[in-house]
Each structure stands twice: as structure tokens, then as C-alpha cells.
Structure 1
Amino acid sequence: MATLVALASQSQLRRPRPYTPSPWGDFFLNHQTCTPSELLSMKKEAHAKKEKVRRTVMDAIGSNSKDLIRKLELIDTLQQIGVGYHYKEEINEFLHCVYDDKDGGSDDLYVTSLRFYLLRKHGYAVPSDVFLKFKDEQGNVSSDDVKCLMMLYDAAHLRTHGEQILDNIITFNKSQLQSLVTTNLEPDQANEVHITLETPRFRRVERIEAQRYISVYEKKAIRNETILKFVKLDYNILQALYCEELKELTMWDEQATEQLPTNLKEIFINILNTTNKVEKDLELQKNKQAKIFRKMVISTAKFYHAEVKWRDEHYVPTTVEEHLQISLRSAACMPLICLAFTSLSEDVASREEAITWALTFPKIIRGVSIVGRIGNDIMSHEREQALEHVASTVQTCMKQYGVTVEEANEKLRTIIEESWMDIVEECLDGKRPMEVLEKPVNTARTMDFMYKREDAYTLSFSLKDVITSMYVNPV
């Protein structure tokens, strides 16, 4: 606590930045998406529907039918629409059988792409040479079918370093998809192309994608009504849970902390209260790493202080790598991931082992931190120029290479792409269970969504619209 007070006190003479107040105020302290009786009724109905969907899944994947496309699309739909987590065991068993089919499963490019996407997404190191047989005379892999082209593009983004065929698929088909936007596509299909170009499916925040895809699925001529009904119930139940969590996050303590300036008192006390609450909750769970969370908060504050020192000395690091030695830690992705590890089930991996591993700052967590840090710097660069601020990776890149802002941003986006390859590589090496690895992956998805440029996918979602759709309006 003394460390945090000392660091915060150094800012008391500085003019606070003119941030716009939250439009929500204390809205979530009193907001209820449904009454307790309505929630109980939804849970009962959802349980019955969930089991009906489970039978549908088992009947489909357990049949002797050679219709691989129907089985893969069912699994893909359940995951994209947000309920795949209910059927993890069935999905993993099915995908294991699909992976054992070493011939690639099909001579159809769409099926091969979907198979490749689902397997790599779940940590199966299926080789990228499954696409070699689809090369045309010019050496390109592509399709005239829009649905197939988008699936191929999404699949290729689960690439690792050195997979030239996947690099070529992305480069060639990006221009193909961009040209489709100018053709007479149906509005819904054109929107899907826009979204695919902006954010490949593996990188999308799962809950936001589920909210979006429910309306897409609802419009399909061929759909399963039981799945649709269950999905809506499940979404609204989770929405009620999220609102309760937001009430916790919106709570402010009124007591005074005289060591701090007025503009920092409330936020500082809230940090302390939140840290104490997390620590207490972990202790009640008999979690041996309960004390580590407080240490991580203090450690993050120290890295913030290092950046403040750069700012006060008007220091611009010589290289991006020098900048990242400090700023990757101040991005605070590692503490978030460690906290997420406390929800791991003990039969998958011990929480202590996962947290200890995370504290070594492995490649996947470094990659996540790069996505967060550099994405933040690109997005905030223009705004920060109006005020005194620490040199960002954008400014450092400009200094290192003698380039413009736009050129620096392109170089930094290349680093982000390479970091996504690092993330995928660690998901495929088989050293950690996917239940562990999905925590940093989800953090990267969230960072990517938060700091996207304001075009395409994010243009239609202001922050207020996202919060309204996810936490206020039921589907």
C-alpha cells in the first residue's frame, strides 16, 4: 500500500487529463436484466434445451454418415454462437477422431479449410501442407465461392512462423475479398466479408461474436430451432451474471485517503478494495497463490512509475525492443491472465503451476502483451499528442527507423501479426492444456478488440453500443 500511495502522490501537482466521464454513471448498481423468478425460470428451461441440443450433437457426430461437412459445421456453429463450452467433451472427442483421419478428410477446399481451422483452434498441429493440392497454375489457393473464401482466409490466420503457403493465402485472398466488397453481394454477405477482413474469426472476442452471430443464425433458412432457443436463453442468463459482476466493479468506497490529491482518492481506494476482495476470495478458496495478486498490482505500479520517469525526463527509447522491456509489463496483461488462472479446474492443471508458469513471462504471454501494448499505442497516439505523455512505441519506432507515423504503424502492425503467430505456436506445441492456453488467447482477443482502428467491424460498435447489447438488451 505504501508503494502505491508514494507512486500516486507524485501526480498530485499534475493537471488531470480531460477524459470524458463514463456515460453510465452508477447505472449498473441498480440495473436488473430480469427478476430473480424470471432468471430461475430461464435456467430451468435452458437446462432442458441444453440436453436436447446435446442429443442433437451426439446423434450427428456419432452417426456413421460420411457427411463430414455437416458435422464440422454443427461444431463450428455451436462455438460461433456461444454455447460450445457446454459440449467441450463431445467436441474434443469428435475433433480427436477427425485429426486421426490423416488424409485431410476431403478434396473440397471449404471442408479442408473448416477442418484445419477447428483443429488448430483446439490445439491440434495439423500441417499446413493440406492446402498444397489446391494450388492453381499460378501457385495460389483461392475460390470463387464467397463462403469458402472467407473460411480459407480465417483458417490461414492460424498460421505459425515460416508457413509460407498460409502467408500467401492471406496476401492473395485479402485482395480477393476486398474486391468482392465492390461487387453486388447481398448486404448480409457483404457485412460478413467486411468483418472477416477486419478481424479473422480466431481473434474475435467470443461473447461479442456470439451476440453478433445469433442474429445471423436467426436469419438462416436452415437452422435448428432448439439450438436457437437454447442459445438465446444461455446468452440472457450469462448477461444477468455479467450485470451482477458489473455491480461489483462499479462499487466505490467513500472513505478519504488524505495522502492523495482529490482526483485520485476514489480510484486509489477502489484499487485497494478490489485487490483486498480478490485476495480474500482466493484465500476462501484455499488458493495458495492468494498473496501473489497484491504483489502483481504493486509490480505493475512500479512499471507505470518507470514510464513516468521516461515522461518527466523526456526520454524516448532508442528501439522498440527497449521500450517493450518496460511497457509490456505495464500493459498489465500478465496479472489479468494470472487472475484468470484462478478459475482453472484442478483436474486440468494446478492453479499454482499455471500461475508459476505465467510469471516466467512465456512466449504466449509476451505475445498477448504485445497485442495489448502496441495496439493501445497505435490507437491513442493522436490523442496523446495534445498533452504531456510518455513516449509510445509509435514514437520510438519513428525514432528508430526515421519514418512517419503511418509507416511506424505499419511496422508495429507487423510485430502484432508476428505475436499472433507466437500465440498460435504455443497453442500447438502440446506442452500446456488448452484450458490453460485459452485464458491468454481470450485476453489477446479482448486487447485486439479494444484497440482496433475505428473502421469496418468496430465502426458499427461504439463502446456504448457494445455494453448496451451485451449487458442490457436481451437477445
Structure 2
Amino acid sequence: MAERADKLKEEVAEMIASSAFSGQRERLHLIDTLERLCLDHLFEEEINAALPQIEAAGASDCDLGTVALWFCLLRKHRYRVSPDVFARFKNEEGGFLADNPEDLLSLYDAAHMRMQGETILDEAILFTRRRLETVLRNMEESSLARETKSALEIPLPRRVRIYDSKHYISAYEKDATVHETVLQLAKLNSNIMQLHYQHDLQIITRSMTILDDIYDSYATPEECEILTKCIEKTEDLVRSFNKEVKMLQDGYIPKSVEEHLQVSIRTGGCPILSCASFIGMNDIATKNCFDWVSRIPNMVQALSRILRLLDDLQSYEREQLIPHVASTIDSYMKEHNVSIEVAREKIHTLKEESWKDFNDEWLNPNNTYPKKVLERLFNLTRTMEFMYNQDDNFTNCSNLKDTIYLLFVEPFAELI
């Protein structure tokens, strides 16, 4: 299996090299396809070499779909490209010159890499979402319809990639532009990675706890020492839990969402999860990285806010049926004297603002920590969106049965 994968990798690497002589559109689509198929980790050197050339070539002569793909790809790789590239697609009515679902979808996904103050991307999301919702109602069942539905639930840059890739491989197989070598490598790589996941699960389930497993099997002695220091800082977490208990006992509702978040962003556990996510990165995650993340920097604060707001949006009705600490929705209703419907909408807006803050940090040139370290935090944030998509799947974990089976048990069919 590994020998065959190596041979296919060589062929795909040649495709990437030869794409330098193709047009910008073809090159972008190839790299995007490799990323959607979760093959990009096999071609990091080739892709990293291509990105500066792609940025320099620009997209001034390209159609909207290609411009959106250029923008989204570069921002996902921490290139702080300007959203002004979309200005020439605005019309006199304030909308965008997008007529087909593919262009609408590309612009919608790209705009979700927005930062604070990027009004044109805010406008793009409002415009494309309305149009896509209308178009979807009249679409026949197809891969484009499924992709549109998925994007309206979770935009592409926020999706958990290993889960999304399983569905994309099946869709790519039916695509008119499918390249058989890329498809075969994608299936083979997915099956190989699944074997790794199964091996890791076996190790974890043989251990008493995940923490035992981290210390015994995965972490280096230096990582264990650093993680221990991070865990020792959980006094803040314990104090925050205690504050929530007192809030519940006293029936106290924080006077504002910000007052609520001062406590509740810690009780979500994201600072500890962020620290733990660096385990196993060896020399990539240095002591400085652990020290940075344990200080709960802006990026971790944004991640923590996103989790708290997502959780409250999906669990509010259930928590009203039992004694439970007040949510951010309760605080917003108290602060502004509004209905639950208005409060829910505002909490959703605050969640989107927190994503802008997160993207600001992702694209911040002063964040000089390794990209792979920052990607761990990005993937945690994506996981939060996934866990609270349509429901509180953290609490109602039986909802994840089919997902777990797809990722850890079901391989792609025997390859030719």
C-alpha cells in the first residue's frame, strides 16, 4: 500500500510542477483539489513554492470564481491579500455580478476569511447567502446542491477537513474534471490515515485516561514538563467553575455578555485544549509556543468565545428545562431588554465577530509562531463549529455515531 502511494505521489508531484506552465485558474484548482482531498500534507514543499508565484501573478484578469478561489487559498495560507480584488464585481445596486451558483458559492466561502473592517466581504456574505438559499430551493439533487447546503451550514474554510474530505472524494470521483491518479491517491491516503487513526485509538483505549496516554506514549519529557505547567495554571479554570456554581445557586444573570464571557470563556476548556493540541509536535512546538498559548492570547480568546457562543445557541432550549447556569442569551436579554429571538440573532452576530477576530490573528504578521502551531488552533475552532452544527453534538454525542464510523471504520473500496 505504501509503495503504491509513493508511486502515485511522484506522479501528482509532476502534475504540480507542470501546472506552473498552465494558467492561473488551472493551478489554483489543482491546489484547491489537493487540499479538499486532504492530500496537501504530502506536497507541502511544492505548494509552498507555488504560493508566492500565485500571489505575484494576481487575479486581475480572472473571473469572479477564480478571484474568490485565489483570495481564499492565499488567506488560508496566511497571505494577507486585500479584499479590494472584489470591488470590480460590485454592481450599482450594491450587489455583486454573480450569475451562477458556482461563483456565488466561491465568493460566499472566500468572504468567510474576513477580518474586522472589511465591509465588502460582509456585503458579499449577505448577498451570496440570500441568493444561495433561493437557488438551493430550486436545485435538483447533485454534488453542487450538497456542497451548497453544506456551505450554508458551515462555510468551507471552517469545516473539519478530514471529515469533509471523505465526502469530497466521493463527489470528485463523479466530477467531469476528475484526474484518476489524484483520485486513487486520495482514496489510498484516506485508507492509510484511517489505519493510523485506528492504531492511535487502540493505544488510547488501552490506557486509563487520555492524559495517561499523553504522558506515557506521545509526549517527550520536555513536553510533559511544559504540559504539567500548563495544567497547573488551571486554578483559573477551577475558580471559573466555582463562579458558575455560585451564579446558579444565586440565580444570578450577568449584566452583560462581556461580564458573562469573563467567566464562561474559561469554563469551555479551550485554553487547556489549545495547550494539549501541541503535544506530539516535537521541535515545532517549542517552550515559547506553550508559554504563549498558556497566556491565553487573542487567538485563543477568540476560539474560546466562538465555543461559548456556539454552545449557548444550540443548548439554550434544553438548558431551560433543568437547573442551569445563565447563558449569554440570558445576559443579552437582560442587558438590552429584548426577546429571545432578537437575543439569539445578536449572539450569532457576536459569534461571527469573534471569527473575524480569529482571522485577524491568523493573518497577523506579528504572530511569528510556526504556521503548523497556529493551524492546531484553527483546527480546534473548526471542530467547535462542527460539534455545534445544527445541534449540541457534544452533549448529544450519539449524533456522531455515523461520523465516527465514517472516519475510523469505513474505508474506501478496494483500489485497482
Whether these two folds match at TM > 0.5 is yes
> Which residue does 1:99 correspond to in 2?
55
2:393 paired with 1:437: no
Asked if 1:122 is matched to 2:77, the reply is: yes
Match of 1:147 in 2: 102
Q: Distance in 2 between matches of 1:151 and 1:413?
A: 23
Give the Å deviation of 1:406: 2.1
For residues 307 and 334 of structure 1, the distance between their equivalents in structure 2, rounded to whole angstroms, comes to: 18
Query: Is this contact kept in 2: 1:142–1:173, CA < 8 A?
Result: no
2:389 to 445, 452, 455: 452
Mean CA deviation greater in 290-299 or 230-239: 290-299
Q: What's 1:307 paired with?
A: 244
Structure 2 equivalent of residue 295 of structure 1:
232
Aligned position for 1:263: none
Question: What one-letter code is carried by the residue in structure 1 that aligns with 2:28?
Answer: L
Which TM-score applies when normalising by structure 1?
0.80
Q: SS at 1:369's partner residue?
A: helix
**Offset of 1:326 from its aligned partner?**
1.1
Take 1:454 and 1:227, find their aligned partners in 2: how far apart are those partners? 35
Cα separation, partners in 2 of 1:242 and 1:297, compared to 1, 3 Å:
farther
CA distance in 2, matches of 1:423, 1:91: 24
1:72 Cα deviation after fit: 0.3
Contact 2:219 2:280 in 1 (8 A): no
Deviations 1:324-361 (A, max 9, x none): 11110111112111122234353x5x521111111222
Instruction: Report the alpha carbon displacement of residue 159 of structure 1 after superposing the two structures with TM.
Output: 0.8
Shift in Å, 1:227: 1.2
Query: What's the CA shift string for 1:156-199, capped at 9, x where partnerless?
Result: 11111111111111111111111101224453322222112111
The answer to whether the 8 A contact 2:230-2:294 is kept is: no
> C-alpha separation between the residues in 1 aligned to 2:204 and 2:256?
37
Aligned-residue offset at 1:471: 1.1
Instruction: String of CA shifts for 1:212-242, please: whole Å, max 9, x gaps.
Output: 1111101112211111111111111211222
Q: Which amino acid aligns with 1:104?
A: A
Identity across aligned pairs (percent)? 36
Question: In structure 1, how many angstroms separate the alpha carbons of the residues matched to 2:230 and 2:197?
Answer: 22
The SS at the match of 2:382 is: helix
SS in 2 for 1:289: helix
**Residue deviations 1:141-166 (CA, integer Å, cap 9, x gap):** 23112111100111111111111111
Contact 1:142 1:149 in 2 (8 A): no
Q: 1:139 to 1:374 in 2, by over 3 A?
A: closer
- Residue 193 of structure 1 aligns with which residue? 148
Establish whether residue 325 from structure 1 lines up as the match of residue 280 from structure 2.
Answer: no
How many angstroms does 1:323 deviate by? 1.0
Instruction: Give the Å deviation of 1:208.
Output: 0.9
Larger Rg: 1
Bigger RCO (CA 8 Å, 6+ sep): 1
Structure 1 residue 454, shift from structure 2 partner: 4.6
- Match status 1:389 vs 2:348: no
- 2:142 & 2:219 partners in 1: Cα distance? 52
| 2:18 alignment counterpart | 59
* Matched position secondary structure for 1:341: coil
Superposed, which structure 2 residues align to 1:394-409 within 5 Å? Answer: 394-409=329-344
In the TM superposition, residue 59 of structure 1 has moved relative to its aligned partner by 2.1
Partner of 1:284: 220
In structure 2, stretches of 5+ residues that fail to align are 393-397
Q: Work out which of the residue numbers 59, 64, 68 in structure 2 matches 1:113.
A: 68
Q: Which moved more, 1:42-51 or 1:424-433?
A: 42-51
Do residues 418 (structure 1) and 353 (structure 2) align?
yes
**1:366 paired to 2:301:** yes
Q: In structure 2, how many angstroms separate the alpha carbons of the residues matched to 1:246 and 1:293?
A: 25
RMSD of aligned Cα (Å): 2.2
Residue equivalent to 1:132: 87
Contact 2:51 2:74 in 1 (8 A): yes
Contact 1:76-1:118 within 8 A present in 2 as well: yes
User: What amino acid maps onto 1:292 in structure 2?
Assistant: K
2:28 counterpart of 1:72: yes
Aligned twin of 1:178: 133
Give the CA deviation at 1:296. Answer: 4.8
User: Normalising by the residue count of structure 2, what TM-score does the alignment of the two structures yield?
Assistant: 0.91
Q: How many residues align?
A: 404
The corresponding residue for 1:243 is: 198
Separation (CA, whole Å) in 1 of partners of 2:246 and 2:268 = 16
Distance (Å, rounded) in 1 between the aligned partners of 2:60 and 2:25: 10
Q: Which runs of 5+ in 1 are unaligned?
A: 1-41, 254-269, 456-460
1:290 Cα shift?
A: 3.7
